[in-house]
Structure 1
Amino acid sequence: MTTWKDPFGSNRLGLWLADRHDRKNKHISRIAARWGWLKPMGDRGKVVWVIAGGSEDSVRLAVELVRAIREKRLDIRLVLTFEHEYTDMLTLLDDCDKTGWGYAPCDHPRALTRVMQRFDPFGIIVVGTQPRANLSKFLDQRQHVLVVNPPQTVTFHCERIYNGASISDTDNITEMADMRAILAQAQIDPNFKSLVNHGAERHLWWLHGATAESSAAIAGQLFAHAPEDVLFVSGERPATEHMQISLWDRSPITGSRIVWVDNEKWLPAISAAVTATHLAQIHPVTLWQAMAGGAAISCPDHNALPKAELHAAITACTDPLTIWQAYRANAIQARQQGDIARRLFWKERRLAETMSQELVERVFEW
C-alpha cells in the first residue's frame, strides 16, 4: 500500500517533497522521469515498456527479460523503468541496441498521460511489482499487457500472467513456476571450498536471514562442538566478531570464524561449498540459489516455502544446530538431501525457462 510520502505515488505533497529532495541532491533526471518526461531510444520501431519495481529481484528479472527479448527482436525499441537503481545489474544492458532505462514515472495522472503519449507503447510487461492505482487503470485500457511474478492479485486486464493469480483473467495464468529460478547461478566454480579449507577436512555452514543476536548465538554453540568449522552468515551483520567476505584476501580461513557475506556475489560459491544451509527467512532468489548449490537445506517452517513439493527437499526445524550435528555424523544423508534439492531446482528452472521462452515468443508475435 502506498503512502502520501511515496515518491512514485500520486499525492501532490509527497511528490513535491520528493522533487525538492532530488533537486537538493542534483538528481534532476529523476525529477524529469517522475513527471513522465521520458523518451525511448531510437526513432523508429514499436515500443515495449518493461516496468520493474524497487526490489532487487524485480529489477534483476526485468533486466534478464529485456536481454532475452532484445536477442529475439532487433526491430523494436525497449524501455525499462524501475524505482531503485542497481548499477551493477544495469550494466548488463550496455550492449543492447535501441534499449533505454531509467527511473519510473510517478502515479499522478498527468505524469502517466505524458509518458503514455511519449512512449505510445505497443506492449507493456510488468515484472515483480504491483502497479499503483492510476497506472492499473491505464494498463486496463491497453491491448498487450503481460505480468510476470506479480506480488499481489492482478486486478487489471492483461494478456497473460506468468506465475500469479488474477481476479478476472484466471484462464490466462500459465503453469505455476517462479521465474526467479532463472536468476540462480547453476554452474558454480568449485575452487572456493579449496581456497577456504586449504586441504583441511572440516565442515562449512551457511546461515541466512537470522537476526544479529541469533547468528552470534548459533555460531557460539556451533564452534563449541566443532572448533574447526566455519560459518557463513548472509543478511544482517552478526552481533559478534566476524570477518567481512568483501575483505577476504583468498587465504585459508581459520576455524571458529564467522564470515559475514556482505557481497552477494559470493553466495553461489558458498551454496556449493557448505555441508548445509539454514534459511531463517525465505527469500525466493536466495532459496533457489541454495537449492542450485546442492547442499542440504533447512528452514523454520514449511509454510514459508513457495511450493509444497519443496517440503521433501527442505527440512523444517527451528534449531539448525540439531540437524547440522546429524549431518556431521552422516555426511551421506546431507548429500542425499542436497541432491533432492538440486533436482527440484532444475525442475523449477526448466519450467521457468519454458515460461520465459513463451513470453519472448509472445512478444515476437506482437
Structure 2
Amino acid sequence: MMGRIAFYAPLKSPNHTVPSGEREIARNLMQALAVDDVVPVLASEFRSFEKQGDAAQQQVLIAQATQEADKLIARGKAEGWQAWLTYHNYYKAPDLLGPLVTQALGIPYLLVEATLANKRLDGPWDAFERRAKTACQAADVIFSFTERDAMALRAELGAEKLVSFPPFVALERLPEIAKPEAPIVLVAGMMRAGDKFASYQIIADTLAQMPDQDWQLEVAGDGPKQADVAALLAPFGARVRFLGQLDAAGMAAAYARAKAFFWPGVNEAFGMVYLEAQARGVPVIAEDRPGVREVVDPSGLVAQGSPKSLSDALISALFDASYHLQRSEKARALIAAHHLLPAARDTLWSALRPLLKEKT
C-alpha cells in the first residue's frame, strides 16, 4: 500500500512563484521524503506569515488556521496520511496547522528548521511566538540545520527530540565540475535592505582592495535595492556584469564560469548558494560567521571586518592554480560526504521510520 507523508511550509509554499532559497529547500525536502512507495503530499498552501507584529492580524490567521485544520483532518483521514512534516516554524510564520492535524489523526509530527525566540514573548509577536513554541513542544522530532538553532532548542526542550540535519542540495551525486577559463568572481544574493545589502557593502569594500589584475565580477540577483547595489559597484566599471535573477539552469551556467564564489554571509542561516557552488568545485570565500561556517570549507572562511583579507583570499582562488585545485577538491569532498540527497534521505528516514512503527 502506498504511504503518504503530509508536507507543509507555513512561510512559503514549494509552489511559491518567486525563486528563493526557502522555496528550494521546501521542494528538496519533499524529494528527500520520497522513498520506495512513499509519496509526499503538499498538505496546504495556507500562509501564516505576519511580518508587522500586528496582534489583531495574528488572531485572524489563527482563526483561519483552525478552519483550515478541520478540512485537513478530514482529508488526512480520507487519504491515509501516515506522518506530517513542517519546514520552517518561527515567530513570524508559526506552524498553526501541524499540531492540530497530527493530534487529531494520531500521526507523527516532525519539524525541520524550527526556532525559538523567547525575547518575542510579551511583545508584538507574543501570540505567534507562543504558537511556534507549541509546535516545537508537540513535535516528535525536530531536525536542525545549524548548531545555532539547536542550542536554543536544546536549552528549552532538552536534547531527546533534536536531530542534526546538514542542509543539502537535491542531487543524488555531484554535478560536473566547473571548468572556468577566466578569473570570474560570482556573487549571488537578493538585493534588499538589511543583511543582504550589508553583504553587498562588504563586497564593494573588498573589491576596492583588489589589485589591478584581469579579474571580473558577475552578480546574480535583483530586488528593491538594485539601484543601490549598482551604485556600490559602479566604481569597478566594466569589470562588473549584472546577470539579473537566474533560474536553476542560469545559476548552473554561472557556477560553471566562476573561479570563485564570494558572499560574506551577514546573518545567513547557512545559504544554499554555498552548497551549490562547492558541489561544482567552485571555491567559496565568505566571512567566518555562525551558520556559514557549518556549510563552507574552512579554508575559505575569513575573519569578519577585514576586506583586505577577503581580497587576498579571492586573489589566491583566482590566480593560484594549485590553491584553486586544492580548494575545489576539498569543496566537492565536503558536499559529497554531508550535503547530497542520499545523506539527507538517510537522516530523515532514520528518525521517521521508528515513529511510523510506533504509531501503526
What TM-score bracket applies, with the shorter chain setting the length? 0.5 to 0.7
User: 1:59·1:82 contact (CA, 8 Å) conserved in 2?
Assistant: no
Distance of 1:185 and 1:261 partners within structure 2? 28
Distance of 2:283 and 2:139 partners within structure 1? 39
Distance of 2:207 and 2:97 partners within structure 1? 47
The equivalent of 1:288 in structure 2 is 275
The secondary structure found in structure 1 opposite 2:86 is strand
Q: Deviations over 1:292-323 (max 9, x none)?
A: 1212222122445252x856332215323222
1:124 to 69, 80, 84: 84
1:299-310 matches, within 5 Å, as: 299-307=286-294, 310=296
Give the AA of the match of 2:243.
Answer: W
Give the AA of the match of 1:232.
Answer: E
Q: Deviations over 1:235-255 (max 9, x none)?
A: 464425999xxxxxxxxxx97
The equivalent of 1:263 in structure 2 is 246
User: 2:10·2:94 contact (CA, 8 Å) conserved in 1?
Assistant: no
Between the aligned residues of both structures, percent identity stands at 12
Q: Deviations over 1:95-116 (max 9, x none)?
A: xxxxxxxxxx986454333222
Give the AA of the match of 2:168.
Answer: A
- Displacement of 1:264 in angstroms is 4.6
The equivalent of 1:206 in structure 2 is 186
Q: Deviations over 1:30-59 (max 9, x none)?
A: xxxxxxxxxxxxxxx987532203254443
Distance of 2:70 and 2:175 partners within structure 1? 45
The secondary structure found in structure 2 opposite 1:138 is helix
- Displacement of 1:128 in angstroms is 2.1
Q: Size of the alignment, in residue pairs? A: 281
The secondary structure found in structure 2 opposite 1:343 is helix
- Displacement of 1:168 in angstroms is 3.2
Report which of the two structures shows the higher radius of gyration computed on alpha carbons. 1
Correspondence 1:345 to 2:335: yes
Distance of 1:285 and 1:84 partners within structure 2? 23
- Displacement of 1:278 in angstroms is 1.9
The equivalent of 1:50 in structure 2 is 7
Higher RCO, 1 vs 2 (CA within 8 Å, ≥6 residues apart) = 2
1:1-366 matches, within 5 Å, as: 48-55=5-12, 56-69=20-33, 72-73=36-37, 78-81=42-45, 83=47, 108-120=61-73, 121=76, 122=81, 123-130=83-90, 132=94, 135=97, 138=100, 141=103, 143=106, 144-152=108-116, 155-163=136-144, 164=150, 165-166=153-154, 167-168=156-157, 170-174=159-163, 176-178=164-166, 180-183=167-170, 187-188=174-175, 193=180, 202-209=182-189, 211=197, 215=203, 218-219=206-207, 222=210, 225-227=212-214, 229-235=215-221, 237=226, 238-240=229-231, 256-265=239-248, 266-281=250-265, 282=268, 283-307=270-294, 310=296, 312-317=298-303, 318-319=306-307, 320-349=310-339, 351-358=343-350, 361=353, 365=357
Distance of 2:354 and 2:24 partners within structure 1? 21
Q: Deviations over 1:208-233 (max 9, x none)?
A: 456455545655664x6123x32112
Distance of 2:255 and 2:115 partners within structure 1? 26
Q: CA distance change for structure 1 residues 335 and 219 in 2, over 3 Å: closer, same or farther? A: same
Q: Which is worse superposed, 275-284 or 209-218?
A: 209-218
Where does structure 2 lack aligned partners over 5 or more consecutive residues?
A: 13-19, 50-57, 118-132, 145-149, 190-195
- Displacement of 1:335 in angstroms is 1.9
User: 2:283·2:331 contact (CA, 8 Å) conserved in 1?
Assistant: yes
User: 1:50·1:78 contact (CA, 8 Å) conserved in 2?
Assistant: yes
- Displacement of 1:173 in angstroms is 2.0
Distance of 1:255 and 1:188 partners within structure 2? 31
Q: CA distance change for structure 1 residues 117 and 327 in 2, over 3 Å: closer, same or farther? A: closer
Where does structure 1 lack aligned partners over 5 or more consecutive residues?
A: 1-44, 86-104, 194-200, 244-253
Distance of 1:161 and 1:328 partners within structure 2? 40
Give the AA of the match of 1:157.
Answer: A
- Displacement of 1:117 in angstroms is 2.2
Q: CA distance change for structure 1 residues 301 and 80 in 2, over 3 Å: closer, same or farther? A: same
Give the AA of the match of 1:49.
Answer: A
User: 2:261·2:285 contact (CA, 8 Å) conserved in 1?
Assistant: yes
- Displacement of 1:136 in angstroms is 7.4
Q: Deviations over 1:178-203 (max 9, x none)?
A: 2x31347964456884xxxxxxx531
Q: TM-score, normalised by structure 2?
A: 0.61
Q: CA distance change for structure 1 residues 46 and 189 in 2, over 3 Å: closer, same or farther? A: closer
- Displacement of 1:145 in angstroms is 0.6
Structural RMSD (CA): 4.2
- Displacement of 1:119 in angstroms is 1.6
Distance of 2:260 and 2:201 partners within structure 1? 21
Q: Which is worse superposed, 117-126 or 311-320?
A: 311-320
Q: CA distance change for structure 1 residues 54 and 274 in 2, over 3 Å: closer, same or farther? A: same
The equivalent of 1:88 in structure 2 is none
Q: TM-score, normalised by structure 1?
A: 0.61
- Displacement of 1:268 in angstroms is 3.3
Distance of 1:261 and 1:59 partners within structure 2? 19
